[in-house]
Copies of this chain bind each other. A is one copy, B any other.
Amino acid sequence: MRKKVTETRLYRTEMNDKILNSGFKEFNKFFALDTNEYQKGAIEVKNKELMGLVGSMVLRCNDCIFYHLDRCVTEGCSRQELYEAMHISLVIGGSIVIPHLRYAFEVLEELIPA
């Protein structure tokens, strides 16, 4: 019933392309800023992505949770690290975060099959 990981990635890429090709260049500047912030710096990429995950969960944005989970797995985060970041989000954001925790578990089932 939920969209597959591949479909979600595809939708995301297609719509981003439309935004970036709209001719309104200010969108491109914001997207560049957004991409750059997760590059390696004093904080390693993996931890930046976990921070992106926490920000997305407490703000309760499923599309953002999807993206950062996907990136976290690519960067080699362990299941334990993901659970810890998800739990920090749960305690900061409260029970209102639980539906997004369910979503994260669904996505994770497909990203890291047991």
Contacts and interface: CB of A to CB of B under 8 A. Distances in A.
15 contacts: A11-B102, A16-B102, A27-B101, A30-B91, A31-B98, A34-B91, A37-B91, A50-B51, A54-B55, A55-B88, A55-B89, A59-B93, A64-B98, A91-B95, A93-B93
Interface in A87-113: 87-99, 101-102, 105-106, 109
Interface string A11-49: 110011011001010110111011011100111000110
Interface of A: 1, 3, 11-12, 15-16, 18-19, 22, 24, 26-27, 29-31, 33-34, 36-38, 41-43, 47-48, 50-52, 54-56, 58-64, 78, 80-81, 83-85, 87-99, 101-102, 105-106, 109
For the residues of A in contact with B, the DSSP-based class is helix
B37 A87 contact: yes
